[in-house]
Amino acid sequence: MGDAIRQLPGQYLRVLTKPGAATFALEKGKAAWNIVWVQLLVLGVISALLSGLVTAITLPLTLNSLNNSSSSISPSSLEQIKTVFTALPIPIAIGTLVFVIVGFFIGTGILFLIAKAFGGQGTFLQYTYSYLLFEVPLSILSTLVSLIPFVGSLAVLAIFIYRIILQVYMTMAVHRLSGGRATLAVLILPIIAIILACVGFFVLIAAISNGIRSTP
DSSP, residue by residue, the chain: -HHHHHHHHHHHHHHHHS-SHHHHHHHGGG--HHHHHHHHHHHHHHHHHHHHHHHHHHHHHHHHHHHHTGGGS-HHHHHHHHHHHHT-HHHHHHHHHHHHHHHHHHHHHHHHHHHHHTT----HHHHHHHHHHHHHHHHHHHHHHTTSTTHHHHHHHHHHHHHHHHHHHHHHHHHT--HHHHHHHHHHHHHHHHHHHHHHHHHHHHHHHHHHHH--
In this prediction, residue 49 carries a pLDDT of: 86
Residue 62 has pLDDT above 80, yes or no: no
Task: Flag the least confident range among 50-64, 137-151, 159-173.
Answer: 50-64
Q: What is the pTM of this model?
A: 0.81
**Where residue 123 falls among pLDDT bands split at 50, 70, 90?**
very high
